[in-house]
A = this chain, B = another copy of it.
């Protein structure tokens, strides 16, 4: 299968590495075709790893993953091109983190909107699924780094697109039963709004390698 990964940061490269390691073909997309990080990544990724523009990555992928920061995601996907996203599963991993002038971490959008919803509105023919924005990159692609069952979340309007996302997560090591369906794409709001909580927890735990697990009444 061919994947387009939009973005060249740590999350993008972690996902791209994992996909290549699973034998998938990946184009890592950046704003410019000669982005040094993307060129270096492709050079090290072997024959299944390519680099290109956002548009190249979107055109290449049968599935497209957005791993840009949430604050620039819509702009990056516009550069990728609506026609190259139409009809495709578009997995959104982003969080719209903004540091306030006081140095506090805030979100934009928040509360009445989310990046996931913005992407779905902007690209109505794409099948947007929000997932993986609730934990650190190393855990996204290797849940066995933590003991026992812990949880991921998906939100999106298209049930089949969510099912395909759960399958993809399965190839990363996530049993389907660990993935909690939070409903339509407005669930992205709930997922993105956990970021301040996650950052406080990281401070309390002294590590980013932690994740949600839920206890429920038996």
Point out residues on A near B: beta carbons under 8 Å.
Answer: 100, 104, 106-107, 110-112, 145-148, 150, 155, 180-183, 186-187, 189-191, 193-194, 196-197, 199-201, 203-205, 207, 209-218
Given A214-B212, A216-B209, decide whether A190 and B197 contact each other with a Cβ distance below 8 A: yes
Q: In the assembly, how many copies of this chain are there?
A: 2
Asked if B190 and A200 sit within 8 Å, CB to CB, the answer is: yes
Query: Contacts of A199 on B, CB cut-off 8 Å?
Result: 190
Asked if A150 and B215 sit within 8 Å, CB to CB, the answer is: yes
Query: Contacts of A190 on B, CB cut-off 8 Å?
Result: 196-197, 199-200
Interface of A is mostly: mixed
Q: CA separation between A202 and B87, bound complex, in Å?
A: 31
Asked if A146 and B216 sit within 8 Å, CB to CB, the answer is: yes
When C-beta atoms are compared, the residue in chain B nearest to A214 turns out to be B210
Q: CA separation between A14 and B11, bound complex, in Å?
A: 44
Q: CA separation between A145 and B107, bound complex, in Å?
A: 34
Select the residue from A189, A199, A200 with max chain B CB neighbours within 10 A: A200
Q: CA separation between A106 and B197, bound complex, in Å?
A: 17
Given A106-B112, A197-B191, decide whether A210 and B204 contact each other with a Cβ distance below 8 A: no
